[in-house]
Amino acid sequence: MIRTRQLALLWAFAVCLLLGHNAYLWLVQRIVPDTDIMALLPVQERDPLLQQSFSHMVDAAQQRVVVLVGAADWEDARRAADAYGAVLAARKDVFEATPINEQTQSDWLSLFQRHRLALLTAQQEAQLRHQPAQFWLEAALNKLYSPFGGPNLGSWREDPFGLFAGWVQERAQETPVRPRDGHLFVADAQRQYVLLPLTLKVPALSMTAQDTVLPLLKQAGDAARKATPQVELIQAGVILHAANASAQASGEVSTIGIGSLLGIVLLMWFAFHSFKPISLILLSIGIGCLGALSVCWLLFGRVHLMTLVFGASLIGVAQDYGIYFLCNRLAADEQLASPALLKRLLPGLGLTLLAAVIGYMGLALTPFPGLRQMAVFSALGLVFAWLTVVCWFPALIGSRTLKSGALVRGYGAALLRWPLLRANRTTLLAAVAFALAAGYGISRLGANDDIRLLQNPPKHLIADQLKLSKLLDAPTPVQYFLVRGDSVETVLQREEALKARLDLMAAGRRISGYQAMSNWVPSARTQAVRLALVEEKLLADGGPLQAIAAQTGEDAQWIAATAGGLRAAGAPLTLEDFLKTPASEPWRHLWLGETNGVYASIVALRGLSNAAVPQVKQAADGLPGVQWVDKVAEISSVLGRYREYMGWVVLGAYVVVFALLFPRYRRRTWRVLAPTALASIATLALLGFASQNLQLFHVLALMLLLGVGVDYGIFMQEHPDRRDRTPWLAVGMSAANTILSFGLLGLSSTPALQAFGLTMLLGTALVWLIVPCFGSTKESNND
C-alpha cells in the first residue's frame, strides 16, 4: 500500500514536469507544428550534388506565388490586375512585387549586342553550312528593303543578315510572357492575362505566414472582381498547397480526435455507469499525448502536423490499458484490493505494451523522417498512458467504485454462444474455404506507390496549376537533367550534346522546349565554330556582304567598315559576364556553380508529359556527365521499396512477438497470434476484392494491427476460462474505440491516411470477431 502511494506520488511529480514543459512549449516558446510535406520524405545523402540541385530548384519555386488576372479585353484585365496589385502593395512586409523595369529591358540586349556575331541559333548554323551565298544576299536585301522586315534590334548594318534578331527571337520564345504597358502579359485564344509574379517575404511553409497571406490573396481577389466582375483569377504557389494541407490536417485532427473521444465517453458510460472511469481513461490518454509531445520535441526539436494527426489515433490504443484494468476491477472480487489486482494483471499489461511498442517501432525502421517521428510519438504516448494506469489507477480506483450495466451483461452473454474452434471436419472445411477465398482476394491486389498518396490537393488547385503551366509553358521543377563537368566549358559542351538530342525530342513533340544556360551562353567551342562560319560564309571576299554592296552601289570602304563593325562584336560571350548582368536573373537557378571542383548545371524541360518521360530520359544515355533526375519517380520507388521491405518487417515482427510471448503462454502462444494473423490475411483479401491497390500505408497499418490485435489475444489468454467475461468486455470496448478512431482516419482525404484507417478498421473488427474462436478449450486450462 505504501509502495503504491510512493509510486503514485513519483508519477505525479513526473506528470508535473510534463505539464510544466508543455506549458513552456505552447505558451512561452509558442511552438508551431511543421506543415512541409517534403519534411516527411526521406533525406537522401548518397549524392549531395543531386540533392543540392533539387533543393536549388525547389527553393527557387517555394517562395513564389504566381497570379494571372485575365479577361477577354486587355483593359479589363489590366484594371483588375491593378486593383489586385494595390491590395498587395499595401503589405510590403509580406509580398515583394517584381518591378518591370524599362532600363533592365535595354540592358538586357546590350550585353548580347556586344557579342552578337557568335550568337546563332542551331538552325541558323545549319543554314550557314548548307545555304548558298544567294540565300544570304536575298535575306539581307529583303530585310533592307522591307519596311517591316521582322523584329529588328539595332540598325540594319549592325545585323544585316538578321542572324542576331533570329537568335533573340528564339530566346524570347523560351517564355510566352511579354512586357506590355508596364505589365507582364500572356494570352490564350480566349483571354488576355496580366501576370503578377510575387515573392513571399515570409516563409511559405509557416502556418502563421499562411494565416496572413491567404486572407490577403482573397482580399486582393475580391478587389479584382470588383474592378472587373468577369475576371478570371489563376493562382499558384507552394503556399496555397501548404495552407490547404494544414487546414485539411487541422480539420482532421479535430474530427478524428473529437470523434474518438466521444466514442470512448459513450462506451464508458454504458459500461460502467460512472464518469470516474471515463475521466481516468481520459487522464491516461491526455498524459500520454502530452508526454509524447514533450519528449518528441526534446528528441527532434520539432513536431510535424502529420505526427499529430497520426497521434490523434493513439487515443484508440492508449485506452486499452485503462480499459483492461477497469474491466478486471469490475469483475474481481470486492475483497481483492486494487494494488493486488494490478499485481496480478501486470504480466499481461506489460506484454500488451511491449507488443504495441514493437508494432510502432516497426514504423521507425522506415527511412521516412515523418514516419519515424510518428512511431516515436506513438510509442512514447503508449508508455506514458501505460505508466499512468500502472501508477495511478490502483490508488484512485477502490474495489467498490464500479458497477456494471445491462449492456455489459448482454454483451458478455454473447461470448458463450460464440463458436469455438476445435480440431474437427467443420474447422477443416472452413479453413480450406478461407484459404481459397483469401488466396483469390490477395491475388487481385495491385500495387500503387505514387507520391500523390502523400498529399492530395483539391481539384481547383490542380486545375489552376495545370492552366498556369500551360499558359506560361513553365518547366517542371521535379524532372530535369543534371549536367556536370570539371570546368564551365565542359559543362556547356555537355549541355550542347544533350540539347542536340532534345531538339529531336522537341521536333517529335515530346517536349515543347528546354531551358539551359548554354542557350544564352554557348560553349567557347561552339562560339568559335559559329564565328568561323560567319567569316567564311558571309564576310569573306566574294561573299554575300560584297554582293550586297554591289547591289546597293557601295564601295570597298563601306564593305570594310561594315565587316569591321560586325567583327568588333565577335568577342566570345562568357558565362561570368552573363551571370553579372540582370539579364541572367531568370536563369541563374539553372547554374549550380562549383562544388569541390565539379561544375554543374540544370537543363529544365518545358511541356513534358508523363507519357513522354520514358523516351525523354533516354536522352542522357551514353552522354558523359549528364544525368536524368526525376524526383517523382525517385520518391515513388522509395515508397515501393519500403512497401516490400515493411512486408518482411511485419512477418519478422510476428516471429519476435511469438518469441516474446512463448515463455508465458507456451503451447497456447499460437492462440494469441492466430486471430491477428488471420484478420490481416482477410483484410488483404477484402482490399483485393474491393480492387484496392496495395501501398506502403496498408502494410504499415498491418504492422500496427499486430500490436493492437496481440493485446486482444493476450487479454483472452490471460483469462482462459470461457465463463470469465472480463477479457471479452475489455476486447470489445477497446476494439470498438479503436474502430471509431481509425475508422474516422479512414475518412481522411489524404489517400495514405485513408488506406491506413481502412486497414485498421477492417483488421480490428475482424480480430474482435475472430478472437473468441481461439479461446482455449477447458482441457488446455491446466497448462
Partner 1 sequence: MKLMKSILLAAALTALGQARAAVPVAKIQAMLAKPPVMCGRFDQSKQLAGMKKPLAANGRFCVVAGKGVLWRTLQPFPSTLRLTRDEIVNYQGDRVAMRLDAKTEPTVRMINNVLFSLLSGDLGQLETLFEVDGTVDASSWSVMLKPRQAALEKAIGTIKLDGGAYVKTIVMGDAAGDRTTIVFSAIQSGEAAMSKEEAALF
Nearest CA to 331 out of 769, 776, 711, 730 is that of: 730
Counting residues that bind partner 1 (by CB under 8 A) gives 41
Rounded CA separation 512/469 (Å): 12
Q: Does 176 bind partner 1 (CB under 8 A)?
A: yes
Residues 495-534 as x/- pattern, contact with partner 1 by CB under 8 A: ----------------------------------------
Q: What is the DSSP secondary-structure string of 580-592? A: HSGGGGGGGGGEE
Nearest CA to 498 out of 482, 477, 476, 475 is that of: 482
**Helix%, strand%, coil% for the chain, nearest 5:** 70, 10, 20
Q: 434-441 long-range contacts, Cβ below 8 Å, gap at least 24?
A: 434/678, 434/682, 437/685, 438/681, 438/682, 438/684, 438/685, 439/685, 440/685, 440/688, 441/684, 441/685, 441/686, 441/687, 441/688, 441/689
Q: Does 8 bind partner 1 (CB under 8 A)?
A: no
Rounded CA separation 5/3 (Å): 5
Q: How far is the CB of 438 from partner 1 (least distance, A)?
A: 57
- Candidate residues 134, 552, 609, 615; the one interacting with partner 1 per rule CB under 8 A: 552
Q: Does 553 bind partner 1 (CB under 8 A)?
A: yes
- Candidate residues 86, 463, 561, 690; the one interacting with partner 1 per rule CB under 8 A: 561
- Alpha-carbon distance values, 319 to 172, 279, 653, 679 (Å): 65, 11, 23, 21
Q: How far is the CB of 185 from partner 1 (least distance, A)?
A: 6
Rounded CA separation 42/79 (Å): 46
Write phi, then psi, for 555 (nearest 5 degrees).
-105, -175
Choose the stretch contacting partner 1; rule: CB under 8 A; options: 52-60, 149-157, 377-385, 434-442. Answer: 149-157
Q: How far is the CB of 139 from partner 1 (least distance, A)?
A: 6
Decide whether 553 or 622 has the Cβ nearer to partner 1.
553
* CB contact at 8 A, 204 and 34: no
Q: Does 186 bind partner 1 (CB under 8 A)?
A: yes
Q: How far is the CB of 496 from partner 1 (least distance, A)?
A: 23
- Candidate residues 182, 251, 458, 624; the one interacting with partner 1 per rule CB under 8 A: 182
Choose the stretch contacting partner 1; rule: CB under 8 A; options: 47-55, 423-431, 556-564, 681-689. Answer: 556-564
Q: How far is the CB of 120 from partner 1 (least distance, A)?
A: 16
Q: How far is the CB of 156 from partner 1 (least distance, A)?
A: 6
Q: Coil, strand, or helix at residue 456?
A: coil
Q: Coil, strand, or helix at residue 748?
A: coil
Decide whether 553 or 614 has the Cβ nearer to partner 1.
553
Query: Hey, what's the cell of 123?
Result: 538552325
Q: Does 149 bind partner 1 (CB under 8 A)?
A: yes
Q: Does 152 bind partner 1 (CB under 8 A)?
A: yes
Q: How far is the CB of 76 from partner 1 (least distance, A)?
A: 15
Q: Does 150 bind partner 1 (CB under 8 A)?
A: yes
Residues 395-434 as x/- pattern, contact with partner 1 by CB under 8 A: ----------------------------------------
Q: Taking CA 376 as the corner, what is the angle to CA 374 and CA 379, rounded to the nearest 5 degrees?
A: 105
Q: Does 143 bind partner 1 (CB under 8 A)?
A: yes
Q: Does 141 bind partner 1 (CB under 8 A)?
A: yes
- Please give the single-letter amino acid code of residue 11: W
Rounded CA separation 286/274 (Å): 19
Q: How far is the CB of 559 from partner 1 (least distance, A)?
A: 12
Rounded CA separation 268/463 (Å): 47
Q: How far is the CB of 115 from partner 1 (least distance, A)?
A: 20
Decide whether 473 or 724 has the Cβ nearer to partner 1.
473
Residue entry with cell 494527426: 309
Q: How far is the CB of 373 from partner 1 (least distance, A)?
A: 48
CB atoms within 10 A of CB 124: 21
Rounded CA separation 415/404 (Å): 17
* CB contact at 8 A, 69 and 235: no
Q: Does 476 bind partner 1 (CB under 8 A)?
A: no
- Candidate residues 157, 226, 343, 409; the one interacting with partner 1 per rule CB under 8 A: 157
User: Which residues make up the interface to partner 1 (CB under 8 A)?
Assistant: 102, 105-106, 138-139, 141-153, 155-157, 162, 169, 172-173, 176, 178-182, 185-187, 551-554, 558, 561-562
